[in-house]
């Protein structure tokens, strides 16, 4: 094949660039020397022109190369997930650090030191695949563990409870939260009538609503949020003895969220903010890590709980059943191909291994069917398990055959079991999956357990457990969301539910909505219990005072002082943070000593919302010019308004003054790098009352 002047071959790829090559049904990457071919292996001599009757004539139907190429392109997109369409996937491993052999015979939970490959996918719930990363939304937290005994999918969220108690209501919930069907908006937002109408008529959702209105749904990074299995599962040991378990993922970087105004601006500045953050962290070798912790409890303990653990709208406070850390997950490899892996990965809660079993949680029971059915629709075949990202990494065999997109080639006469005609075919195993031996009796009926009737006690506990700052954020979020609701009766109904949770919260929201008085209390079937606060439910109280995994923005220009910049960069790096140099123009800036410094981002396109703290090092002349540049003024004004630490040298002071930035504990001199690093480790919560009005 002739080479073009730039060293590319006829495929348009540079020499040495990898390309997918098929050989006998086995797909692999070939780095160079591959002839461009059709999917049938026919070499292509011209990939630039269709077959025509003559130079200016019609294209001929016989051009099978054109037809194959266009047909494949036409079918490149598969139906996106109805929920969790916007996702980010990463490879890694899970390592067990403490055995649960007393509770389960699951290999992955008993062999300490064993590293198991994983694929984790993080996602928003409401938005489509093209929506932004940062709306106020629940985040999916799904992990596929490729164990020695088969795949285990731990499919959860970054919130430990859910909106509904029974899976039969899931289509209604999703239809309510999605774009309104008569107008096709809003996208990836709950601030609209249909969602809140559903909530107002479904009091079991109030616990999840309180979490959704908290800062938990505004994560700073996918690397800085918790994950929960949500449901109670069962562990079974060698003797078949069951123990209930709830699974928790806890980030080693600690929890961190954004503030609402910042979140809105991030969506405009970088819709891929979370995905890019994960990509850059892994590319830099700063691998995200989570602890896996469990809550273990018996049936007898569960019977004594003041709530029903089978109710997915309830959690088990850590003060009641402490968390036991048993392992860690490290994510260290970005997918080779987004579609093949992140988009085609198929998670199913029904994918468990021997030693793990299900509870009678009615939401979980419905999910066991729903997810499998979804994969059949999205991926087009019961053979979706043969897609590489879904395939077990241990041997597997059965008598299932044929079907759409069958890639295996089973041999032999036998396709059933038991049989006497195959001596080496797959057989049942005593070590195989066993269900818990439970006794079920009662009348068949469509009924909800009375123990599921308490809809307000845990939402109240969650609210009173928050710091004053977080409570104000929740009240303000409710005001914002409900202010977008057109129908007054819906707003009134939701505030009525809030009265059961906390009278002051209801008053704050009603005042923010301009209501005259409070609406009536909706009836309840059980009294609201007064649980003690649970500090473990906070975010601010659980944030780590650290710069590990965070990012600092350095605003500079021609004439900035080299020594101050070098000192800041050194201190930032030592504290474990990354940095980016921002300037009015991309390329390089000439510093005070005439040296040159590479610029990572252009000012107008790299606002301070993308960073955890900022430093501004400018000459007096440069600062004077930037005082007339709105992007520069907004850079420091937004950083101040979003409660971030700001370091500024003497030259930058006039820019700070122009932006209305006043001195406080988080605004420090650029030469005091130690104080800046300390201030940058957390938000300046005391500043918030001076920069915005909260409900």
Query: Where in the sequence numbering do the catalytic residues fall?
Result: 84, 157
DSSP H helices, 178-259, are 193-200, 206-212
Rounded distance, CA 405 to CA 389, Å? 15
Question: DSSP letter at 356?
Answer: E
DSSP H helices, 502-578, are 503-512, 562-574
**CA separation (Å) from 32 to 19, 41, 430?**
8, 16, 49
Rounded distance, CA 336 to CA 88, Å? 13
Residues 502 and 462: beta-carbon distance below 8 Å = no
Angle at 45 between CA 43 and CA 51, to 5 degrees: 110
Angle at 51 between CA 48 and CA 54, to 5 degrees: 110
Residues 645 and 605: beta-carbon distance below 8 Å = no
Helix, strand or coil, per DSSP, at residue 157: strand
Residues 197 and 479: beta-carbon distance below 8 Å = no
**CA separation (Å) from 425 to 396, 411, 416, 561, 618?**
11, 10, 9, 75, 75
Partners of 251 in the beta sheet? 290
Rounded distance, CA 577 to CA 617, Å? 18
Residues 215 and 260: beta-carbon distance below 8 Å = no
Longest dimension (CA), the chain: 90
Residue 321 CA to chain centroid, in angstroms? Answer: 26
DSSP H helices, 513-579, are 562-574
Rounded distance, CA 649 to CA 669, Å? 6
Both tokens assigned to 344: 């085609």
Q: Is 47 exposed, middle or buried (0-12, 13-18, 19+ CB in 10 A)?
A: exposed
Helix, strand or coil, per DSSP, at residue 26: strand
Nearest to 414 by CA among 405, 426, 404: 426
For residue 624, give the H/E element and its range: helix 620-626
Angular region, 16: left φ>0, alpha ψ -120 to 50, beta rest: left
**CA separation (Å) from 477 to 73, 217, 218, 469?**
43, 11, 11, 12
Residues 365 and 358: beta-carbon distance below 8 Å = yes
Nearest to 405 by CA among 346, 348, 334, 337: 346
Rounded distance, CA 125 to CA 80, Å? 12
Helix, strand or coil, per DSSP, at residue 120: strand
DSSP H helices, 350-456, are 362-379
The residue count of the chain comes to 695
**CA separation (Å) from 291 to 154, 169, 328?**
14, 32, 4
State the helix-helix crossing angle for 193-200 and 488-501, rounded to 10 degrees: 50
Helix, strand or coil, per DSSP, at residue 147: strand
Rounded distance, CA 558 to CA 576, Å? 27
Both tokens assigned to 417: 């079991």
**CA separation (Å) from 383 to 14, 67, 373, 497, 592?**
35, 26, 13, 46, 64
């Amino acid at each position: 094949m002739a080479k073009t002047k730039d060293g590319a071959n006829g495929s348009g790829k540079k020499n040495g660039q990898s390309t997918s090559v098929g050989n006998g049904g086995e797909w692999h990457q070939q780095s160079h020397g591959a002839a461009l071919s059709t999917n049938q292996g026919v070499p292509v001599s011209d990939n630039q022109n269709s077959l025509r009757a003559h130079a200016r004539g019609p294209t001929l139907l016989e051009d099978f190369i054109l037809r194959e190429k266009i047909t494949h392109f036409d079918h490149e997109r598969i139906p996106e997930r109805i929920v969790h369409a916007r996702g980010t996937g990463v490879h890694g491993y899970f390592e067990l650090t403490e055995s649960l052999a007393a509770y389960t015979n699951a290999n992955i939970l008993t062999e300490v030191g064993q590293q198991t490959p994983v694929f984790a996918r993080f996602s928003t719930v409401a938005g489509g695949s093209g929506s932004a990363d940062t709306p106020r939304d629940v985040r999916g937290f799904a992990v596929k563990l490729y164990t020695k005994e088969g795949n285990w999918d731990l499919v959860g969220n970054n919130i430990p409870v859910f909106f509904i108690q029974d899976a039969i209501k899931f289509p209604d919930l999703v239809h309510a939260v999605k774009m309104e069907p008569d107008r096709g908006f809003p996208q990836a937002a709950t601030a609209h009538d249909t969602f809140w109408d559903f909530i107002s008529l479904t009091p079991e959702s109030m616990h999840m609503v309180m979490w959704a209105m908290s800062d938990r749904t505004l994560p700073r990074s996918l690397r800085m949020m918790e994950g929960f299995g949500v449901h109670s599962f069962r562990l079974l040991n060698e003797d078949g003895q069951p123990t209930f378990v709830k699974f928790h993922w806890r980030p080693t970087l600690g929890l961190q969220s954004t503030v609402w105004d910042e979140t809105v601006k991030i969506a405009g500045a970088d819709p891929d903010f979370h995905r890019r953050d994960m990509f850059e962290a892994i590319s830099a070798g700063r691998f995200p890590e989570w602890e896996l912790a469990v809550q273990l409890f018996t049936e007898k303990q569960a019977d004594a709980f003041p709530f029903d653990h089978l109710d997915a709208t309830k959690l088990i406070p850590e003060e009641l059943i402490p968390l036991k850390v048993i392992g860690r997950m490290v994510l260290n490899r970005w997918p080779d191909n987004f579609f093949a892996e992140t988009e085609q990965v198929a998670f199913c809660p029904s994918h468990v291994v021997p030693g793990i079993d299900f509870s009678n949680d009615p939401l979980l029971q419905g999910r066991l069917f729903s997810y499998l059915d979804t994969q059949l629709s999205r991926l087009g075949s019961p053979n979706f398990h043969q897609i590489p990202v879904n395939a077990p990494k241990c041997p597997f065999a059965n008598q299932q055959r044929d079907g759409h997109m069958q890639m295996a080639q089973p041999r032999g006469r036998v396709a059933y079991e038991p049989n006497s005609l195959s001596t080496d075919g797959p057989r049942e195993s005593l070590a195989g999956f066993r269900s818990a031996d439970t006794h079920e009796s009662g009348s068949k009926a469509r009924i909800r357990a009375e123990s599921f009737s308490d809809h307000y006690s845990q939402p109240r506990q969650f609210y009173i457990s928050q710091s004053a700052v977080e409570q104000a954020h929740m009240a303000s979020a409710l005001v914002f969301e409900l202010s977008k609701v057109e129908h007054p009766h819906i707003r009134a109904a939701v505030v009525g539910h809030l009265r059961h949770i906390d009278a002051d919260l209801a008053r704050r929201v009603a005042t923010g909505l301009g209501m005259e008085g409070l609406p009536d209390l909706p009836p309840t079937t059980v009294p609201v219990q007064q649980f003690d606060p649970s500090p473990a439910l906070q975010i601010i109280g659980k944030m780590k005072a650290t710069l590990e995994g965070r990012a600092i923005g350095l605003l500079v220009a021609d004439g900035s002082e080299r020594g101050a910049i070098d000192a800041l960069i050194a201190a930032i790096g030592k504290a474990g943070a990354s940095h980016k140099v921002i300037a009015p123009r991309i390329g390089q800036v000439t510093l005070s000593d005439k040296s040159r410094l590479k610029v990572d981002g252009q000012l107008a396109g790299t606002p301070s919302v993308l960073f955890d703290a900022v430093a501004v090092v400018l000459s007096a002349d440069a600062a004077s010019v930037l005082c007339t540049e709105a992007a520069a003024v907004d850079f420091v004004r937004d950083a101040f308004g979003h409660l971030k630490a700001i370091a500024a040298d003497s030259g930058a002071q006039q820019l700070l003054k122009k932006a209305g930035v006043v001195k406080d504990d988080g605004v420090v001199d650029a030469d005091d790098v130690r104080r800046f690093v300390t201030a940058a480790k957390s938000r300046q919560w005391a500043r918030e009352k001076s920069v915005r009005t909260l409900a």
